[in-house]
Structure 1
Amino acid sequence: MRASQAPGGLRHAWQLEATGCPWAVHTRSPVPSALRRQLLARIDAFEDTWSRFRPESLVRRAAAGRLAREPDGTIALPLPPGSATLLDLYDRLHAATDGRIDPLAGADLVALGYDAAYSFVVRDGAAQRLGAVHGRPTWAACARHDDDQLVLREPALVDVGAAGKGFLADLLAAWLREAEYEEYLIDAAGDLLVRCDQPVRIGLERPGGRGGDGAVVGIVELAAGAVCASGVSHRAWGPGLHHILDAHTGLPVAGANAVVAAWAVADTCAQADGLATALFVADPASLAAARFAYDFALLRADGSAAVSRTWRDLPAELFTAPRRDR
């Protein structure tokens, strides 16, 4: 996704890298060097906690059994203040999708080759280990959290990729507000978080890769809120191999009617990010029934499309003839 232009007055752009991707922060006045350093240090600390690509991150050390066990044999991960918001979101997504969104599915991605070394080589015997169906630990059975402390029953790889980037964007927005930046547009590698006086016109791009060319297929206008996208071609490394899994089977979503691209609009970037992924494995109505307040548009492999009933009220448009759901 991309904003057609920075909203009026937000002419200063700070380019940075986070979560292994290029980000941009648009503000009315330049972000001073000292504040940039402070924000980058906080982003680095976030990745030291959550990144499954950093060998010494907290989640990697927990997965490798390198954290001390509690007297009852569990493994406690002391997370940064505010992490309960992300953990609560995963509790809700896991329940609303019948376990098909699961932070412990990171082990499945590793087995399929999307590992810390980016080997993109499927491990021997992966088919017998993938997913909850083959006994991979699940969020509901293996994890619980007490406020900001995550507790695992056994070593397991926690992967917050479905909503973690959006959560970091929300944190960055909060840090900007602490520094008295009341208006901003955060472009988190294509996921956008907006807070400004004038609506921003955002283009929804068709997925790249097979049959996709990055052409704009819709628009959303937002002055406050977030819009996030997910697509099967964004991180793909072989026939039928991409990063959006059904955590029950541990396999990438597929099928003639499977979702191939989704966009979600919500109040927070974490929710929009998580819901854009959840739409691949759950019916939109079931997510609404779980009390997620959101709008969406999606494209399926058979060429059909769907949007939420209130999509046009945002206002937003998908340049096709979609069915209206939810």
Structure 2
Amino acid sequence: MAIWRFDAIGTRWEIETTDELDAARREAVTAEIERFDREWSRFRGDSGVTGLGREGGTLASIDAGAILDAYRTASDATHGAVNPLVAESLVALGYDAEYSLVAGEPVAAAARWTEALRWTDAEVTASAPALLDIGALGKGRLVDLVADVLADMPGGLVVDAGGDMRIRGRAVRVGLEHPYDATKAIGVAEVQDAALCASAVNRRAWGDGLHHVLDARTGVPVRTWAATWALGADAMHADAVATALFFDGGPDLAAHWGVQWVRMSTDGRAERSPECPIELFTARS
């Protein structure tokens, strides 16, 4: 197997293929990541999302419909806890474009966010300035897009973006990293022709108990669940479920999309979906 490692969108990527990727395919992958980042990153001054946050208007993107339709479903399932307008509170708490990590007061996101935005398959429009954060599912969406770019590669394929991965053509055993001890795993998943996405409160954490998983209704970081894993047909929906599992309604969303899951509480208990094939090593609640 050949492995190509690089950094992009603030995380480490590993793309594993049966044969070495040629220059043209690497360029195509790089171009797709750059396009997505230029449109959707709130950490770039020149991005489409940053423009929406400054001025409102329209962002043209082939991802708009898929992303915002999924957000609407996730928001409905979690009673508004998952909401792309959570960006305002992330910025207020210090997770801003400059990574200042200087915390102010949390901000509750607008509950009726679907009225603040209009979208089609190819664009999203904000009638007033509205900064979006698509972290609940954006990395998963990009993993799917990169896998699509490499759809004609023969043999096996693993696209892994900081733990959100899509695997094709062969079975791969993946450890579920313990959120409080990176040297341990709480279980193992065997993934083949599917996606596995994870989220944890120890990632992108700063200050006094602050981290990137916020309840959009309050703007405050979640406290009950420490880590989640979601196994599904594609990475975008698995990523969205991994976020939604921090809230009531997450399991219902997973069932709606046919995603299997595991989550671990902050006191060390583990839960999983009824038909989940992931092997666990820790106590279950």
1:193 counterpart = 2:166: yes
Secondary structure of 1:265's aligned partner: strand
CA drift of 1:63 comes to: 0.5
Aligned partners of 1:241, 1:184: CA distance in 2, in Å? 35
CA drift of 1:286 comes to: 2.7
CA drift of 1:285 comes to: 3.8
Cα root mean square deviation, aligned: 1.6
Structure 1 counterpart of 2:59: 77
C-alpha distance after superposition, 1:42-93 (max 9, x if no partner): 211110000111111000011111x6xxxxxxx22211x2432222111111
Structure 2 counterpart of 1:305: 270
CA drift of 1:267 comes to: 0.6
Closer, same or farther: CA 121–26 of 1 in aligned 2, 3 Å: same
CA radius of gyration, larger in: 1
CA drift of 1:321 comes to: 2.6
Structure 2 counterpart of 1:55: 45
- TM-score normalised to structure 1 length: 0.83
C-alpha distance after superposition, 1:259-292 (max 9, x if no partner): 1111111111011111111100224443246x12
CA drift of 1:137 comes to: 6.7
Aligned partners of 2:147, 2:254: CA distance in 1, in Å? 26
Secondary structure of 2:218's aligned partner: coil
Structure 1 counterpart of 2:118: 144
CA drift of 1:119 comes to: 0.6
Aligned partners of 2:14, 2:30: CA distance in 1, in Å? 13
Map 1:26-175 onto structure 2 (within 5 A): 26-65=16-55, 75-79=57-61, 81-123=62-104, 126-127=105-106, 130-132=107-109, 136=110, 138-175=112-149
Secondary structure of 2:134's aligned partner: coil
- Letter in structure 1 aligned against 2:177: E
C-alpha distance after superposition, 1:98-122 (max 9, x if no partner): 1110111011100000011111001
Runs of 4+ in structure 1 over 4 Å off: none
Structure 1 counterpart of 2:206: 237
Aligned partners of 1:101, 1:167: CA distance in 2, in Å? 16
Closer, same or farther: CA 264–163 of 1 in aligned 2, 3 Å: same
Secondary structure of 2:193's aligned partner: strand
State the percentage of identical aligned residues: 39
Pick the aligned partner of 1:202 from 167, 174, 193. 174
Q: Matched residue pairs, number?
A: 285
Aligned partners of 1:285, 1:105: CA distance in 2, in Å? 21
Structure 2 counterpart of 1:70: none
Structure 2 counterpart of 1:293: 258
Closer, same or farther: CA 180–301 of 1 in aligned 2, 3 Å: closer
1:25 counterpart = 2:15: yes
User: Could you tell which deviates more after superposition, 297-306 or 279-288?
Assistant: 279-288
- TM-score normalised to structure 2 length: 0.95
Closer, same or farther: CA 213–32 of 1 in aligned 2, 3 Å: closer
Task: Give unpaired runs (5+ residues) of structure 1.
Answer: 1-10, 68-74
Closer, same or farther: CA 188–91 of 1 in aligned 2, 3 Å: same
CA drift of 1:182 comes to: 5.3
Aligned partners of 1:187, 1:213: CA distance in 2, in Å? 18
- Letter in structure 2 aligned against 1:23: W
